[in-house]
Amino acid sequence: MTTPIDQFVATIARLRAPDGCPWDREQDHRSLARYLLEETYEVLEAVHAEDPQKLKEELGDLLLQIVLNAQVAQDNGHFTFQDVAESINQKMIHRHPHVFGNGDAKTSNEVLQKWEEIKEQESQQKGEKEKSIVDKVPNTLPALLKALKVSEKAVTVGFEWDNPEHVWEKLLSEVEELHVELSRPEPEVRRKDIELELGDVLFTLVNIARWQKMNPEESLLLAIDKFRMRFREMERITERPLKDLSKKELNDLWEEAKRQLKAAPP
């Protein structure tokens, strides 16, 4: 019986055929990389919007990029989409011995710790060169997400604060250090030092997010969406161009926009 995924794989293969679509035939992994990233962020946007129909569509667009990349690999004689599915299925079974084997893991933290241990064993079996645990995070990740992943890696070997209060103390300390640097004369001369202090503040905020089991990348996206919504409301309700308003008028308009949006029906 032919499944929808089989039909979809066949459709992409047809597009890549010699008499298929010129655009699809021209693509390679490098040219498709930007679309893979763009579609991933559109999936996140649909998740934030809590729109199931939109999420279904965006997941389909993301699946397109995966299947298209797999077809490029097949055309080059490297692997097929079926190979991709088989590989990830085997990996999920192997890394969940508490479900598919005799392993034992009763909490999410135990699952994550076992996951890292199994990954390390797999690397050793492949003969991969041992490297620092924090170097196993891809450099291409967005900065906030990369910071979260690096922090999570460090925690797996016990490098962690004792309690949330210690994380807050660290944040206050880093904010004070940043303030001191900015307060010194000629801050432009020490731009690199100030950037590092600001980075320390952001990295500590990432750890606060981690303690709360939140993704700082998604949190920032939500904050950006909220800001854009309020700014659009400012533009809608003002009778004068924003650039002609004073600082006080802009602040008053911002507060009015917040009130208008809060009062609006869902």
Residue ranges covered by each domain of the chain: 4-94, 219-263
**For residue 43, pLDDT beyond 80:** yes
Q: What is the mean pLDDT of the chain?
A: 92
Region 46-65: mean pLDDT is 95
* Region class of 213: left (phi > 0), else alpha (psi between -120 and 50), else beta: left
Helix (H, G, I), strand (E, B) or coil at 132: coil
Read off the tokens for 10: 């066949």
What's domain 4-94's superfamily in CATH?
MazG-like (1.10.287.1080)
In 3D space, the residue among 154, 200, 141, 144 whose CA is nearest the CA of residue 174 turns out to be: 200
Percent of the chain with pLDDT over 90: 70
**For residue 196, pLDDT beyond 80:** yes
Q: What is the predicted pLDDT for the residue at 266?
A: 61
Region 156-168: mean pLDDT is 91
Q: What is the predicted pLDDT for the residue at 58?
A: 97
Region 141-160: mean pLDDT is 91
The model's pTM is 0.72
